[in-house]
Amino acid sequence: MVVHRDQRRADVRDVLDEFERWLLQERSAQECTAAAYTARVAAFVEWLPAPVEESLRKLTAAMLIEWVDLEAARGLMASTLGKQLVMLRSFLQYAHRSGRMGQDLSGVVPHAAAWRLSSIPDPVPAGTIEALFDSLDLRSPKGLRDRAILLLLTGLGLRACEIAGLRLDDIGWRTGSLRIRGKGDRVDELPLPDEVGHALEDYVLHCRGGRVQGEEVFWTVIDPVQPLSANGVCGSIRQICIKAGVEKFGPHRLRHTFATGMLATGATLQEVQGLLRHAHLRTTALYAKVDKNRLTALAPEWPAAASLGRCPR
């Protein structure tokens, strides 16, 4: 279960808040990236005995290995564990540079036994997406909001942080386009499908008016009303899963489903790369692994595409 930062111990909250500010100011991280790093190290920080300040001063390599062993014993996917450890190393660097620790123990944290692009994307089972949409109450602001979010995930393959970062002026109502701010300050214009555009219009016109003043598209529905964060998008999807009676999963699995579905309907790797906004074609090629027939058909075009390094702007 995800624990909100406000529900954690006061000493834990203080350290997490400072770590997030350090990421934003010293590492020039984007807000969604800083929030994701902070959320992933929160459990480690709370695992330390109170007060955290004293525990960090006394932290040893043996304690770090103990934590890593506990995480590995949870049965996490290698890629997930790898992300946990990357973010833990970043936190330890922060703790040392901020004077909370006498030495930098980030080098003690081992690497997860995995290699880049080794895992196979896992699309949701047939009928799951329909069940998610059927569970929505379209008479409520939350239902209209969640429908728009689901359509952005399933119809355009957006990331949670990209949805949270949408502004009203990113929606090209007249041009039928959507401006996306992605990783590495990359900005792309995507075509806005009619169904997605109508869902955004319904939500913006009927659920935001008079309640909020900001330029962010998506907002929470419980007071105090505030812009929906990337973590909020993830939480919303998991809540929809519970209501629909399906296995819980996060937004990125719907991105996987979008990508594999595009390939299954005949889209080329380059076309899917452009829609997913991958910097490298080899990242997109991962999705071909879920369909051996499609992978065989792509074999003639793959070496040429890879050698040319085609990357849509």
Residue 25 inside a domain? The answer is yes
Q: What is the pTM of this model?
A: 0.60
Write down which residue in 108, 123, 146 finishes a domain: 108
Residue 313 inside a domain? The answer is no
Residue 35 inside a domain? The answer is yes
Residue 62 inside a domain? The answer is yes
Residue 173 inside a domain? The answer is no
Low-confidence residues of the chain: pLDDT under 70 = 1-7, 113-121, 183-185, 209-212, 263-313
Domain assignment of residue 304, given as a range = 255-308
The DSSP letter of residue 166 is -
Name the residue among 280, 260, 258, 261 with its Cα closest to residue 270.
Answer: 280
Residue 45 inside a domain? The answer is yes
Residue 24 inside a domain? The answer is yes
Instruction: Give how far the C-alpha of residue 67 lies from the chain's centroid of Cα atoms, to the nearest Å.
Output: 24
- Would you state the pLDDT for residue 149? 96
- Kindly list the catalytic residues: 159, 183, 252, 255, 278, 287
- Would you state the pLDDT for residue 136? 96
Write down which residue in 108, 128, 161 finishes a domain: 108
Name the residue among 279, 300, 299, 304 with its Cα closest to residue 288.
Answer: 299
Note the pLDDT tens digit of each residue in 205-242: 888 755 667 889 999 988 788 899 988 999 999 999 99
> DSSP strand E in 98-241: where?
171-172, 177-181, 187-191
- Would you state the pLDDT for residue 28? 83
Give dist(CA 218, CA 229) in Å, integer.
9
Write down which residue in 60, 83, 108 finishes a domain: 108
Number of domains within the chain: 2
- Would you state the pLDDT for residue 303? 44
- Would you state the pLDDT for residue 305? 45
Residue 214 inside a domain? The answer is no
- Would you state the pLDDT for residue 269? 61
